[in-house]
Amino acid sequence: MTHALQFDKRVVFTMDAVVLTELEARALDVRRDIVRMLGIARTGHMASSLSAVDILVWLYGSVLSVRPKEPLWEERDRFVLSKASASPALYAVLADRGFFDRDALWGYRQLGSTLQAFADARRTPGVDVSCGALGVGLGISLGLALAFKNRLPQLRVFCLIGARELQEGSVWESLIVAARHGLSNLTVIVDKNDGVPDDLAEKFHSFGWAAACADGHDIRSLNDALESLPAHCQRLLIAKTLRGKGIPSLERETPAGKAASNSRTTDDLLKELEGLDNVGTEKKPGRSL
Phi/psi at 101 (5° precision): -65, 135
Domain boundaries, the chain: 13-274
Per-residue pLDDT, 1: 37
Is 1.10.10.10 the CATH classification of the domain at 13-274? no
Q: Beta strand pairing status for 10-13 and 4-7?
A: antiparallel
| pLDDT, mean of residues 172-191 | 94
pLDDT at 284 over 80: no
CB 85 within 8 A of CB 256: no
Per DSSP, the residues of 65-124 read: ---TTSTT-TTS-EEEE--GGGHHHHHHHHHHHTSS-GGGGGGTT-TT-S--SS--TTTS
CA distances from 52 to 109, 171, 230, 277 (A): 20, 19, 24, 18
pTM of the model: 0.88
Q: Specify the range with the lowest mean pLDDT, choosing from 9-18, 222-231, 241-250.
A: 9-18
Averaged pLDDT, 141-155? 93
